[in-house]
Amino acid sequence: MATTNEPAAGMLSALLQEDRRYPPSDEFKAQANWSDPAIYERAEADPEAFWAEQARAIDWFKPWDRVLDWNPPKARWFVGAEVNASYNCVDRHLQSWRRNKAAIIFEGEPGDSRVLTYRDLYREVNRCAAALKRLGVKKGDRVAIYLGMVPELAIAMLACARIGAPHTVIFAGFSADSISDRVNDCGATFAITADGGWRRGNKIPLKDTMDRAMESCPTVKTVLVVNRTDDARQVPMNEGRDVWWHRALADSGAEQVEPERLDAEHPLYILYTSGTTGKPKGMLHTTGGYLVGTACTHKYVFDLKEEDVYWCTADVGWVTGHSYIVYGPLANGSTCLMYEGSPDYPDKDRFWDIVEKYAVSILYTAPTAIRTFMRWGKDFPAKHDLSSLRVLGTVGEPINPEAWVWYREVIGGDRCPVVDTWWMTETGQILITPLPGITVLKPGSATFPFPAVKADVLDESGNSVPLGSGGYLVLQRPWPAMARTIWGDEERYRTQYWSRFPGNYFAGDGAKRDEAGYYWLLGRVDDVLNVAGHRIGTMEVESALVSHPAVAEAAVIGISHEIKGQGIAAFATLRGGYEGGATMVETLRDHVGDKIGAIAKPDKIFFTAELPKTRSAKIMRRLLRDIAEGKVLGDTTTLADPTILASIKQQYEESE
Ligand code: 7RM
């Protein structure tokens, strides 16, 4: 199996020897939402009935005629039903005592905080929806949102959902070019940003970046600007295009906007994610099935209770924030914490300070963060009372057993179950995960498919591999929150996910099942990197590099990185007249930062006279990976010029 994920492959031997077991405690089991393993058989016996049962937790304006219409690879869920995500996340909670329950607890990086009850959230979402309408946004129009982690981000998403205008949230770390690529791909006519955001005590100039992006976004007519950093006077407003959020919402007064009765398959949002080409894919998620899938998994994977204080540390700019900060948790009427800033500001105990301050009971974070905390040491969490924690979760990348056990012991006081949840932007909802009241946990394993989810591990020719072996992870049955297509590129949707193994959804991940059937995720098997839990396409970084005048050709690979899981190494050949060296490395790193965003900056750049190629001129990234991992070089017989490898290898080793 060709895997690009070397750290995960290296992890395999450790995983095979992993024999620690963590069954749920009797105490946890006794109070768990699900504690009877019969749920698996029940769901398996009739998956559609299972999802229909889960769908009863959602409020529908009109019930469905059919649970599922499945014409592979096209699914329609809850056919004929009418629903609204904003109504489900906000309005319906006003009918109970939850109206004054905290919906969003916001902790700003500078230390300011805000609590929005469901009633407050209702008011703000209505005011925002009224402003959007008044400024010309109509059902079906796309709205681009480029904001940091502030409540206005969730409010804006819910306001869009209320009027049926699909949003596309763009992570605040992305560059102007990345914004304009996304805005132009989906033809957004409206955008929302802020003067800035706070990060490690600095103001991130979001509006500046947005202004640069807008130079090449002719479809956007209006930009709504949140005042977050009080830069009101410094931020130039573009007459006729830019409108302050607070002014526009003040004009709405106490106006109420009826939530649109939307078809269950009405587009809820488009979220761009990296693939194997230079162009990110706009994954389209729709409304009814997405709400069912996210709310149900949020409730059962985290064993959610009414009084929980739930904190997912992801950024809403990624799918984890969409599904498990905004839609799933708010549909469940839970109290959701939202933190704006960095885990080391003002000091390395900021997360634990927040857990203590708000008595957080469910914490959902990424393995990269856990490894970072491990390196910072136990003293930081030890300074705080973490006894409110009840359930811990991880997502985004494979977690090594050491980090898993550290998380359980040091953060969870050896008391909280750790749920390692596997899913993707494309899947919308968690698919492979423990159920904390049922599953005997193994550190490093995402354990089993969620009830009604059918997964398998296939070999190269599409045969299911026996227990104990590895292969390609596939899903063999539709699930309600699955993406419906790639915006504007149905063909790519079909070939990318459904053609490798016909009839199966091909995730792009390698996996192994042990003798007991537990799933162990092994990382990507394609040219997609996972750097600190962020998906980045090698081709995207390569095209950013070659867009610099100095670069003739570039090849990008993942290298193992102790904290980030993977790092990025680039091999570049320069055009005549340009010199490699430390200055050029910095120039190119900055260039990639400008083109994509800081997360895509290569950790290492090597200059080489040539790249290893086959006789048909295909770059052999595999050999570059071998060099980077210090391996004996693989088969080099197909190389056009075997001598160039020695020089690349020598350079690489000198740089180590
Ligand atoms: C939710 C999210 C998706 C890719 C996916 C995997 C990797 C995610 C896990 C994981 C091992 C996990 N969406 N991944 N969760 N690998 N164990 N629990 O991350 O679209 O940004 O990335 O992330 O490779 O294909 S994503």
Report whether residue 273 contacts ligand 1, using a CB cutoff of 6 Å.
yes
Under 8 Å between Cβ of 549 and 587 = no
- What is the rounded distance in angstroms from the CA atom of residue 160 to the CA atom of residue 291? 15
Q: Residue 556's beta-bridge partner residues?
A: 570
Going from the Cα of 506 to the center of ligand 1, the distance in angstroms, rounded, reads 13
Q: Phi/psi of residue 133, each to 5°? A: -65, -45
Burial class for 69, CB neighbours closer than 10 Å (0-12, 13-18, 19+): middle
Under 8 Å between Cβ of 147 and 78 = no
Under 8 Å between Cβ of 317 and 171 = yes
CATH dotted code for 532-655: 3.30.300.30
More confident residue, 656 or 238: 238
* For residue 1, pLDDT beyond 70: no
Q: Whose CA is nearest to atom 1 of ligand 1?
A: 424
Report whether residue 509 contacts ligand 1, using a CB cutoff of 6 Å.
yes
Which tokens is 336 given?
Answer: 């959701």
Under 8 Å between Cβ of 500 and 506 = yes
Which tokens is 507 given?
Answer: 């995730």
| Nearest atom (ligand 1) to Cα of 535 | 21
Q: How confident is the model at residue 14 (pLDDT cuts 50, 70, 90)?
A: low
- In this prediction, residues 445-471 reach a mean pLDDT of 97
Q: Whose CA is nearest to atom 5 of ligand 1?
A: 424
- What is the rounded distance in angstroms from the CA atom of residue 300 to the CA atom of residue 37? 13
Which tokens is 312 given?
Answer: 């997912």
* For residue 619, pLDDT beyond 90: no
| Nearest atom (ligand 1) to Cα of 424 | 13
Burial class for 239, CB neighbours closer than 10 Å (0-12, 13-18, 19+): exposed
Tell me the pairing of strands 222-226 and 242-244: parallel
* For residue 154, pLDDT beyond 50: yes
Q: How confident is the model at residue 513 (pLDDT cuts 50, 70, 90)?
A: very high
Q: How confident is the model at residue 621 (pLDDT cuts 50, 70, 90)?
A: confident
Q: Residue 441's beta-bridge partner residues?
A: 22
Report whether residue 437 contacts ligand 1, using a CB cutoff of 6 Å.
no
Q: Residue 523's beta-bridge partner residues?
A: 510
Weakest-pLDDT range from 21-30, 274-283, 609-618: 609-618
Which tokens is 262 given?
Answer: 């939307």
Mean pLDDT of the chain: 95
- In this prediction, residues 569-575 reach a mean pLDDT of 95
Report whether residue 430 contacts ligand 1, using a CB cutoff of 6 Å.
no
327-382 pLDDT, tens per residue?
999 999 999 999 999 999 999 999 999 999 999 999 999 999 999 999 999 999 99
DSSP H helical segments within 148-260, as ranges?
Answer: 151-163, 176-186, 206-214, 245-252
Fold entry, domain 26-509: Rossmann fold (3.40.50)
164-212 pLDDT, tens per residue?
999 999 999 999 999 999 999 999 999 999 999 999 999 999 999 999 9
What share of the chain has pLDDT > 90, as a percent?
88
Q: Whose CA is nearest to atom 8 of ligand 1?
A: 396
Report whether residue 434 contacts ligand 1, using a CB cutoff of 6 Å.
no
Which tokens is 9 given?
Answer: 């492959």
Which tokens is 466 given?
Answer: 């026996």
Q: How confident is the model at residue 3 (pLDDT cuts 50, 70, 90)?
A: very low
Q: List, as own/partner pairs, every contact residues 412-415 make where C-beta atoms lie below 8 angstroms and the sequence separation is at least 24, other chains included.
A: 412/386, 413/386, 413/387, 413/389, 415/25, 415/389
Under 8 Å between Cβ of 90 and 128 = no
Which residues, 6+ apart, have CB-to-CB distance to 400 below 8 Å? 11, 14, 367, 371, 444
- What is the rounded distance in angstroms from the CA atom of residue 414 to the CA atom of residue 25? 11
* For residue 639, pLDDT beyond 60: yes
- In this prediction, residues 128-146 reach a mean pLDDT of 98
Beta strands in 7-157 (DSSP E): 66-71, 74-79, 82-83, 102-107, 113-117, 143-146
Task: Give the residue carrying structure tokens 């109420």.
Answer: 256
420-432 pLDDT, tens per residue?
999 999 999 999 9
Report whether residue 421 contacts ligand 1, using a CB cutoff of 6 Å.
yes
What share of the chain has pLDDT > 70, as a percent?
97
Residue 442: the pLDDT is 98
User: Can you give the residue ranges of every domain in the chain?
Assistant: 26-509, 532-655
Weakest-pLDDT range from 498-507, 527-536, 606-615: 606-615
- Residue 326: left if φ>0, alpha if ψ -120 to 50, beta else—which one? alpha
Under 8 Å between Cβ of 612 and 623 = yes
DSSP H helical segments within 164-265, as ranges?
Answer: 176-186, 206-214, 245-252
- What is the rounded distance in angstroms from the CA atom of residue 391 to the CA atom of residue 399? 17
CA Rg value for the chain:
24
Report whether residue 433 contacts ligand 1, using a CB cutoff of 6 Å.
no
526-551 pLDDT, tens per residue?
999 999 989 999 999 999 999 999 99
Report whether residue 127 contacts ligand 1, using a CB cutoff of 6 Å.
no
Q: Is the dihedral of CA 115, 120, 125, 128 positive or negative?
A: negative
- In this prediction, residues 522-528 reach a mean pLDDT of 92
- In this prediction, residues 136-155 reach a mean pLDDT of 98
| Run of H or E including 473 | strand 470-475
User: Best of 431, 482, 509 to mutate for ligand 1, by most ligand atoms within 8 A of CB?
Assistant: 509
551-571 pLDDT, tens per residue?
999 999 999 999 999 999 999
Going from the Cα of 521 to the center of ligand 1, the distance in angstroms, rounded, reads 9
Residue 609: the pLDDT is 87
- What is the rounded distance in angstroms from the CA atom of residue 62 to the CA atom of residue 64? 7
Going from the Cα of 369 to the center of ligand 1, the distance in angstroms, rounded, reads 15
Which residues, 6+ apart, have CB-to-CB distance to 316 below 8 Å? 149, 153, 154, 157, 169, 322, 325, 326, 338
Report whether residue 425 contacts ligand 1, using a CB cutoff of 6 Å.
yes
* For residue 7, pLDDT beyond 50: no
Q: Phi/psi of residue 441, each to 5°? A: -80, 145
Tally of CB atoms within 10 A around 462 = 15
| Nearest atom (ligand 1) to Cα of 426 | 20
